[in-house]
Amino acid sequence: MEWTDVGLVLGARRLGEADALVELMTVAHGRHLGVVKGGRSQRRAAGLQVGNSVRAVWRARLDEHVGTFAVETLDARGAALMADPLGLNAVQTLAAHFRLLPERDPHPDLLYAALAILARLDDPGPAAARLVRFELAVIEALGFGLDLTTCALTGTSDDLAWVSPATGRAAGRAAGLPWADRLLALPAFLVAAPIEAARDESPPLADLLAGFRLTGHFLARHVWEARGIDPPATREGFLAALARVGAKARA
């Protein structure tokens, strides 16, 4: 068995004394593990940092084997992120979200969305907006998609402002007002534009945090709690770094 694909490094752990077991999110082969011979050497380890883009050749005798990767670094962005808490937490959060997906299940749209986030980490607002959308897409890919297009109470698509924490369906501002204390806020940027049209949006910090509260609720409800895992600490770190950037911008 042999294939070549490009992908994002999600993690690498030591295997024996010299090798590394590397986890990639590839375009056509999804989240895939493989052994990199000599992956713990100083030179190879630098290319296997989380967030790096690589071209990988996977070889194994049988498809169900872990197999080996021959890896060539295409973009060593992991090193560039090291000084930036926002970027570091973002890339680790993306990796944690990819790990929620089944192994060897391709999700090219999610991979491209993640690469787009990593490409815009110099501008926290748009990067954070994309991360919220990425989390919505992960929730959908896992089979728990939210309906943020029409009001569950009136059937209209105007002035949507709430989401039911139980059903994941949107509600209009006026229609949902009597239950406002029990509903999750739906930030305007998630209603206004689809993913493709929202490339450079920079919503207010309050809207971004409301977006993360929304996705965090459904990730916890459907995924983290159901699987008995903790939310990634790096997601909290990202939100803290985002809040600091927002506070600095206001000052």
Binding site for other proteins (CB under 8 A): 10-13, 17, 23, 43, 45-47, 49-52, 73, 76, 78-83, 85, 88-89, 91-92, 95-96, 99, 229-230, 232-234, 237, 240-241
Q: Shortest Cβ distance from residue 73 to other proteins (Å)?
A: 7
Best CA proximity match to 162, nearest among 143, 145, 179: 179
- Tell me how long the chain is: 251
Rounded to 10 deg, the angle between the 233-250 and 124-141 helix axes is 150
d(CA 230, CA 100): 12
Query: 11 vs 30, which CB is nearer to other proteins?
Result: 11
Please report, to the nearest 10 degrees, the dihedral formed by the alpha carbons of residues 204, 210, 213, 216 taken in order.
Answer: -60
For other proteins, the closer CB: 93 or 164: 93
To other proteins, the closest distance from the beta carbon of 134 in angstroms equals: 16
Q: How far is the CB of 22 from other proteins (least distance, A)?
A: 10
User: Minimum distance between the CB of residue 183 and other proteins, rounded to whole angstroms?
Assistant: 31
Sorted by sequence, the CB contacts under 8 Å of residue 86 that are 6+ apart come out as: 121, 124, 127, 238, 241, 242, 245
- Residue corresponding to tokens 């493989």: 34
Toward other proteins, which CB reaches closer, 9 or 163? 9
Task: Pick the closer one to other proteins by CB: 34 or 168.
Answer: 34
Q: Which is nearer to other proteins, 78 or 168 (CB)?
A: 78
Which burial class, exposed, middle or buried, applies to 37 when counting CB atoms under 10 A from its CB (0-12, 13-18, 19+)?
middle
CB of 99 to other proteins, least distance (A): 7
